[in-house]
Amino acid sequence: MFSSISKITPKELEQQMHHESVQVIDVRSRDEVRQGKIPAAENIPLDELPERMEELDRYEEYVMVCRSGNRSAKAAKHLHQNGFHVKNMTGGMMKWQGDIEA
């Protein structure tokens, strides 16, 4: 269904973050994010994404994150269709083993 969207595993993302700056967008609700998020991730809830796309840089690559990977796949597809470079983190925060910030 979302085969044209690149995927990244939580472990790959964690390793990449140790070596370079990575733009992570967490599309969960604000209440979900309050329970903890990937450090430096920006929270743009999925339902706000269409009107907040202008905040994003088309020359950057973004990694989309949610709880399980489904909402972030939808967000990645939407951004991809609008000319953005995106990856979807498979398994979402349920599979994230790295650091979490409140």
- Between CA 100 and CA 30 the distance in angstroms is 15
Contact 60, 79 (CB under 8 A): no
Catalytic, out of 65, 66, 73, 79: 66
Active site residue 61: no
Which of the 8 DSSP states describes residue 50? H
**Sign of the torsion angle spanned by Cα atoms 42, 46, 47, 52:** positive
* Residues designated as active site: 66
